[in-house]
Structure 1
Amino acid sequence: MIRVLIVDDSATARHILREILESDARLKVVGLAADAYIARDMIVELKPDVICLDVEMPRMDGVTFLQKLMLHYPTPVVMVSSLTRNSANTTLDALEAGAIDYVTKPHSHIYDGKEEIKEELIQKVVNASHARVQKKIPMMKVNPHHTSLSETTHKVIVIGASTGGTEALKVVLGGLPSTSPAVLVVQHMPHSFLESFAMRLNQLCVLDVKMARHGEFLQTGTVYIAQGGKHMVLRRSGASYFIEIGLGAKVSGHCPSVDVLFNSVSKVAGSNAIGVILTGMGSDGARGLFHMHEAGAKTIAQNEESCVVYGMPKESVKLGGVDEVLPLPEIAHAIVKMLV
């Protein structure tokens, strides 16, 4: 039984969220709190396995509360908030502060949209109960590895990530030098958040980080983030690589899918590629990484101890497609060594 605490200033929202969660036999709501101060006392007393936390609350907002919680009483948190003009940045702030995942309330009247979020909310709370949560220490800006790399267009780096990946990508991409080959990234995240996410990464990295565009040719020192709801694949024209983006059914449960990107890279780039699989629930990317490995690419998986959720890397290791299993802080250095 997964014990859940709901923190929301709306009595209606608390009631509906409880109704949704307790419709699943695996979940039990052990407490309802109207604000952060009530929640603080309940957490100490009830010791919930997962907290569902609203963003906009009186006395203390959800992100501020989350920052304090992760510093003093680390607990898996799923943010449940309304979609607003600033929701993308607020969601990224929450993930930065240590939230495992997020669910967007579909309407101001939550009664009208409870069926829309039911499956997603239940699954994300269950996933969060398995997540690794550690005391959140403010992350220092990562210094890139200043290894001299020759500028080349025939090498390419591809990275797949899901739950916990927004923070993991900061560490990996922040550690790569400006002369790195082009990097293609699939991060499972709604399209409405990805533009803001790319902008944040661009501010943190010496690499140029941008949203991928259909037909765009790859440039050295550039990171391309896959669009939400569309698959991204690598193609080749003569000596140059370019990106193809298109609609398609979910693969391995996702669109964009890491498997789709990695499979295309195995065929187009072969031994000239480096594949990296980071923290995330499920198995997306495992088969694609195996195919890259079979094609001669170098492959890396994040280790269990540094993952928020050891799902995608675990499945990749089980399939036998991983050359190195490394702690998150060592991955960027390993990539650079593979390129020299």
Structure 2
Amino acid sequence: MAVTVLIVDDSSFFRRRLSDMITGVDGLSVVGCAENGLEAVELCKKLKPDVITMDYEMPVMDGITAVRRIMQECPTPILMFSSLTYEGARITLDSLAAGAVDYLPKNFSEIASNSAQLKKRLAQCILDVAAAGKKSTAPTTPFSIGVRPASTAAASSVSSATSAALNLARHSVDCNVIVIGTSTGGPLALQNVLSSLPANFSKPLVLVQHMPAAFTKAFAERLNSFCQITVKEAVDGDRLAAGVALLAPGGKQLIISAGGTVKVLPGDERLHYKPCVDITFASAANVFADKVLAVVLTGMGADGCEGAKLLKQKGATVWGQDERTSVIYGMPMAVAKAQLTDEVLPLEQIGPRLIQATL
């Protein structure tokens, strides 16, 4: 059965181009279009689409307000379109907090060019967002929070793995740095983890979130406003410090260097992810060997798995988020399937466990 999509945008050109791209993909179907947020809420109730693509700046009712209304009245997984600006980043982060699952940059020139690559990326995002939504049964819970019951068999497996980890591994972790990697669902997952840490947290942290260049400054500021620890976008030469989380800049790569500093390097077009979790994990392994605690949170793909292998070869510790609380169980699943995780934890336990492990 095809995944049905409701397109919401005040631009007739954008609605038409999105509709053309989506209907050209097997397994996807456009069931309606809305010109503003209010119409989106009404059509959502009437058409019950599997996924909604949502613009943020519209007349009558803006996208964030529409997301909040939809999540309250007819919860549906939402893919936001956002501009690649600081203000666009701030609005996108607000929409994720309101309940949107994921976002894509709104690039009119790319849309107009009929890019096959964009069509493929859009289709995959819609399918991933739909998959996340189908696993949610709590009608008032925003999908971006990522609390999704897995299938009975999977839930049993995750529960058993988690229980075993919690029972057998409540020891402290001897580490000089904590490195956290994530992608889809990561903004709220990181907020959940970091906001539970006290101001006097004893370890430095490095964060790698797949995110465009224009977004990470606003994201770091947002995290900093929610947390007792300090969170900042990393700049070349920053020094690792206890109770400070350095966020890898979007569009670039972050490497941990000898002496406890970080290097921020150009993104390298040969690499799919900018920033890339594998690269930061590998650099941590080279510098700190077994004195690294790596955490892989929600996200599509397998970024972080190769880096985790290098870390494990050095004797480092690797944790992974569990399936139930992952918006997309891709990155942590890849690490778990490779048998690299020392502990599998639900999101709500990762922050408290970090505190306990580093006392």
Q: TM-score, normalised by structure 1?
A: 0.88
One-letter amino acid of the structure 2 residue matched with residue 177 of structure 1: P
Counterpart Cα distance in 1 of 2:103 and 2:246: 24
Match of 2:342 among 323, 327, 332: 323
Counterpart Cα distance in 2 of 1:60 and 1:14: 17
Q: Which residue of 2 aligns with 1:26?
A: 27
Q: Which residue of 2 aligns with 1:263?
A: 282
- Please list the CA deviations of residues 185-243 of structure 1 after superposition, one character each: whole Å capped at 9, or x if unmatched: 10001010110110011111111111111122211111100011111111113xxx111
Local SS of the residue matching 1:191: coil
- Please list the CA deviations of residues 273-307 of structure 1 after superposition, one character each: whole Å capped at 9, or x if unmatched: 11101000010012212322332222211111111
- Please list the CA deviations of residues 156-201 of structure 1 after superposition, one character each: whole Å capped at 9, or x if unmatched: 0000010000000001111122233110010001010110110011
Local SS of the residue matching 1:167: helix
Q: Which residue of 2 aligns with 1:235?
A: 257
Whether 2:129 is the aligned partner of 1:128: answer: yes
Give the drift of 1:37. Answer: 3.1
Give the drift of 1:101. Answer: 1.5
One-letter amino acid of the structure 2 residue matched with residue 159 of structure 1: I
Give the drift of 1:136. Answer: 3.0
- Cα 1:322/1:59, change in 2 over 3 Å: same
Match of 2:194 among 173, 182, 185: 173
Counterpart Cα distance in 2 of 1:217 and 1:55: 37
One-letter amino acid of the structure 2 residue matched with residue 201 of structure 1: L
Q: Give 1:234-253 correspondences, 5 Å limit.
A: 234-237=256-259, 241-249=260-268, 253=272
Match of 1:301 among 320, 327, 344: 320
Give the drift of 1:138. Answer: 12
Local SS of the residue matching 1:96: helix
Answer yes or no: is the 8 Å Cα contact 1:304–1:310 preserved in 2: yes
Q: Which residue of 2 aligns with 1:183?
A: 205
Between stretches 328-337 and 244-253, larger displacement belongs to 244-253
Number of residues of Structure 1 aligned to a counterpart in Structure 2: 323
- Please list the CA deviations of residues 10-48 of structure 1 after superposition, one character each: whole Å capped at 9, or x if unmatched: 222211110111222231111112223332232223221
- Cα 1:154/1:282, change in 2 over 3 Å: closer
Q: Give 1:41-120 correspondences, 5 Å limit.
A: 41-82=42-83, 86-107=87-108, 112-115=112-115, 117-120=118-121
One-letter amino acid of the structure 1 residue matched with residue 192 of structure 2: V
Whether 2:18 is the aligned partner of 1:14: answer: no
Answer yes or no: is the 8 Å Cα contact 2:101–2:143 preserved in 1: no
Answer yes or no: is the 8 Å Cα contact 2:85–2:215 preserved in 1: no
Give the drift of 1:58. Answer: 2.0
Which structure carries more relative contact order (alpha carbon 8 Å, separation 6+)? Answer: 2
- Please list the CA deviations of residues 99-148 of structure 1 after superposition, one character each: whole Å capped at 9, or x if unmatched: 112122223x7863553843432222122122245533699xxxxxxxxx
Match of 1:157 among 139, 163, 178: 178
Structure 2 unmatched runs, 5+: 145-173
What is the alpha-carbon root mean square deviation over aligned residues? 2.3
Whether 2:248 is the aligned partner of 1:226: answer: yes
Counterpart Cα distance in 1 of 2:228 and 2:52: 36
Local SS of the residue matching 1:192: coil
